[in-house]
Amino acid sequence: MKRKAIIREAAKVFNRRGSHGATLDDVALRLGVSKAALYRYVQSKQDLLYACHEEAMEIARECMDKGEDEGRNGLEKIQIGMSGYLREMIGTMGVPVLILEENALTGTQADHIIALRDDFEKRMRRLVEEGISDGSILTLNPKLAMFMLLGAVHWVTKWYSPDGPWTAEDVAEALIEMATRGLAAHPSERLTAGIHN
């Protein structure tokens, strides 16, 4: 639990200063611990960056599991999974811009994160294909649909502020509904997720 808390706080530091600008001293200061105490859980800044990326992919896996368990069709599975993923990314992880910076990793760490990301993307594509088969999603290119949806979701990390007028829950619900509306074979007449100025 302590290691998870460190990873999530570190993600917030990396978000504010960038993965290249932030140091372990910055992370230790944010946590209110000594750098030596931090070394009990991570060996270097690179290891901490890697752990942040792993945490993001674990959140993605858990949210997609929930979507697949609770959704009645391909579209609902995507909506449930992706709204949970976005909510966790901008809420719990504190707007992790670093998930767009996989080039900050090198060697086997980079290879592992890229493999996890590729698995996540393939899973999304399979759900789009499932939605096309069950009639909940229009006949379209599953790969392009997946890239569109992930692009919309990940770009939120560039503009969302937890100090702004919208909660992570507000943004996740509204954005996923709007983004998946373009995939839906039978979109509702009006949006149900509304956020105000």
Q: What CATH number corresponds to the domain at position 131?
A: 1.10.357.10
Domain count, the chain: 1
Residue 127 lies in a domain: yes
Any domain includes 195? no
What confidence score (pLDDT) does residue 42 get?
A: 80
119 located within any domain: yes
Residue 25 forms part of a structural domain? no
Measured in whole angstroms, the distance separating CA 190 from the mean position of its chain's CA atoms is 26
- Using 70 as the pLDDT threshold, list the residues of the chain that sit under it: 1, 17-19, 94-102, 193-197
Output the CA–CA distances (angstroms, integers) from residue 100 to 2, 74, 104, in the order listed.
25, 26, 9
Provide the pLDDT for residue 95: 53
In a domain, 46, yes or no: no
Q: Quick check: pTM over 0.75?
A: yes
- State the residue range of the domain holding 126: 52-181
Chain Cα centroid distance, residue 4 = 16
In a domain, residue 190? The reply is no
- The DSSP bridge partners found for residue 137 are 184
Which pLDDT value is given to residue 97?
Answer: 57
Q: Is residue 6 part of a domain?
A: no
**In-domain check, residue 166:** yes
Q: Residue 196: its pLDDT value, please?
A: 60
| Whole-number pLDDT of residue 5 | 77
